[in-house]
Amino acid sequence: MTVTVGTNLVRLIAILVAAIATTVIVFCVWAVQVKAQTNTPAIEPISRTINLTAEQEYIIREIVLTDLKVPKAKPDAPETIGDKVPENIELYPIPPGVAEKVPQVKSHTFFVKDNDTIILVSPSDRVIAEVIKKSND
């Protein structure tokens, strides 16, 4: 039996082409199945309506926690962006010093929790817009 190198090379190429074609077909079928299974709507993450720098957060913390003496909200008050603040939680206007130095929050209101977390709230719908936690300095 005589086997030439050319014939083996042709067979090897044919096997490789068949293997690649089979892999592509299997992948396409798998992708269609996965797509069919993931047609449920995804819950979009809550997008921030205010983007504050660390310096701006520091300014707000300093003025609100040091200069103002606002009563603290109950521990069970919400503190997640996008949550609605119940009517029984008193909201306070942004102080003029904060509004001057951080103008993007001047139209908001706020409340403070026991752990010195400052919650910025959109006054039109009472939805939490930003959460400023006490720094660890």
Please check whether residues 64 and 127 belong to one and the same domain: yes
Say what the pTM is: 0.64
The answer to whether position 58 is within a domain reads yes
Whether the CB-CB separation of 99 and 89 falls below 8 Å is answered with: no
Whole-angstrom Cα distance, residue 42 to residue 68?
42
Please check whether residues 82 and 126 belong to one and the same domain: yes
Please check whether residues 127 and 96 belong to one and the same domain: yes
Please check whether residues 34 and 80 belong to one and the same domain: no
Residue of 136, 135, 119, 134 whose CA lies nearest to 50: 119
Domain with 64, as residue range(s), is: 54-132
pLDDT, average across residues 94-120: 93
Sign of torsion over alpha carbons 92, 98, 99, 103: negative
What is the CATH classification number for the domain harbouring 98?
3.10.450.160
User: What's the pLDDT score for residue 122?
Assistant: 93
Please check whether residues 70 and 128 belong to one and the same domain: yes
Please check whether residues 29 and 92 belong to one and the same domain: no
Please check whether residues 58 and 20 belong to one and the same domain: no
Beta strand 109-113 pairing with 92-93: antiparallel
Please write the tens of the pLDDT for every residue from 56-88: 999 999 999 988 888 999 888 999 999 999 999
pLDDT, average across residues 28-51: 60
Please check whether residues 26 and 4 belong to one and the same domain: yes
Give me 7's structure tokens.
């014939």
